Homo-oligomer: A and B are copies of this chain.
């Protein structure tokens, strides 16, 4: 990924970026498709909610858009990653009197879209419950880094993350949906997890189709017995899951599903809108 920053990180005498010191940053990972950022408004909206939760100054949305523009001219599929950090300075955890947030823009070819259903690992690391950080896409992501290592070690495609009380929350880099008795269900993100942009888009689309959509607590048993299980994120859209595996001696399979009609229907709608 090639990176651009509004200010070189170590150029000033003001100090090292608090993003690097404390993970004091927000980020957005966006799909760039033929010069368009399909869900840019949703991304900037989440960025603003993140700023409120972290008491960071609101980013200048017009300024961000004009910083993004020169990187969005090429045709094809790209990933644009935007990091909005608290910038340099301060003594320890205390912020400096005047924050100078920094904007970093990264660009890389989009990953290949995953073909075929996913094998999910039931991760051992759980998501800690922290309502003051839940929902937003902040820069404290060690849990996801460790979870991704578990997934790679088990040879799976993605991982299912529970919280400390056994509630299913999300995947490592995607949100989770299940279909049960014709209803679309997705976990509550009040205590942990990231409120994905594609999750919001899918909930809106599904409601528009007259589907019954519920945010609810889900257990592993609920997932195992679901009619359909699929993941969502901004780069890949919707991906159906076919199996849930538990690590250990020989990786036991604890859930199995066939790709179903709801995921297919919503996937087509996303394509039609040009959102994936």
Contacts and interface: CB of A to CB of B under 8 A. Distances in A.
Contact of A93 (B104, B111, B128, B173): B173
Nearest to A4: B10
Copies in the complex: 2
Nearest to A133: B142
Nearest to A151: B94
A144 interface: yes
A95 to B, nearest CB: 7
A21 B125 contact: no
Interface stretch (A23-31, A69-77, A222-230, A247-255): A23-31
Interface in A102-121: 104, 106, 108, 111
Given A10-B3, A20-B83, A92 B29 contact: yes
B54 A142 contact: yes
Contact of A152 (B94, B132, B140, B192): B94
Contacts of A138: 142
> Which of the four size classes fits the interface of chain A?
35 or more
A8 interface: yes
Interface string A1-28: 1110100111001011111111111010
Nearest to A164: B129
A85 interface: yes
A198 interface: no
A146 B192 CA distance: 17
15 contacts: A2-B13, A3-B15, A8-B9, A8-B10, A16-B106, A22-B144, A23-B140, A23-B142, A24-B145, A86-B145, A128-B133, A133-B142, A133-B143, A138-B142, A139-B142
Nearest first, the 8 closest Cβ-Cβ pairs linking A and B are: A23-B23, A128-B128, A140-B140, A22-B141, A128-B130, A93-B148, A9-B9, A20-B20
